[in-house]
Amino acid sequence: HALSWEVRSGMVRALGEAGASSFFEDVAGRLEDPDSDVRRTATEALPRLAPADDEHRGRIVAALLPRLQDDDWRVRRAAVEVLPELVPTEGDGRACAVVALQACL
């Protein structure tokens, strides 16, 4: 018996609100969910798992970049909205992020 998209989305939202990086795999796994609402919720929740100095930030950015090419425009928009929160504001990290974003265009 499969869980409905509403239940999957709610679980992802709750994990994001918990904000613990230990939930990365669970939330990132839902980026590939067949339902676009679940993918969008996972896209919005993932950045909450990385505090400003967290070493998981790079893994989260790498997981979110493919969402810029998602079939659903709402998922793409969510990725565009959350990625700037994770990108360094200066230095090599910013340059790498710009190149990665340009590759998705």
pLDDT string in tens for the chain (105-residue length): 578 999 999 999 999 998 888 889 999 999 999 999 999 999 999 998 876 556 778 888 899 999 999 999 999 999 999 988 887 666 555 555 555 665 665
Class for the domain spanning 5-103:
mainly alpha
**30, amino acid identity:** R
Euclidean distance between CA atoms 7 and 16, whole angstroms? 14
Contacts of 83 (CB under 8 A, 6+ apart): 61, 64, 65, 68, 97, 101
Contacts of 68 (CB under 8 A, 6+ apart): 76, 79, 80, 83, 101, 104
Answer yes or no: are the C-beta atoms of 15 and 30 closer than 8 Å: no
